[in-house]
Amino acid sequence: MPPKTAEFRQEPCFPFWLGHESGGTIVEVGAKVNEYKIGDKVMAFGWCNNFADYFVAKEFQLQPVPTGMDMDLASLGELLLSTYWMVSLKLLKS
- Please tell me the predicted confidence (pLDDT) of residue 3: 60
- Please tell me the predicted confidence (pLDDT) of residue 2: 55
For residue range 21-79, what is the model confidence (pLDDT) as tens digits? 888 899 999 999 999 999 999 988 877 777 778 888 889 989 999 899 898 888 887 77
- Please tell me the predicted confidence (pLDDT) of residue 8: 59
- Please tell me the predicted confidence (pLDDT) of residue 88: 85
- Reading phi first (left if > 0) and then psi (alpha if -120 to 50, else beta), residue 19 is in left
pTM: 0.68
Please say whether the beta carbons of 61 and 55 come within 8 A: no
Please say whether the beta carbons of 19 and 43 come within 8 A: no
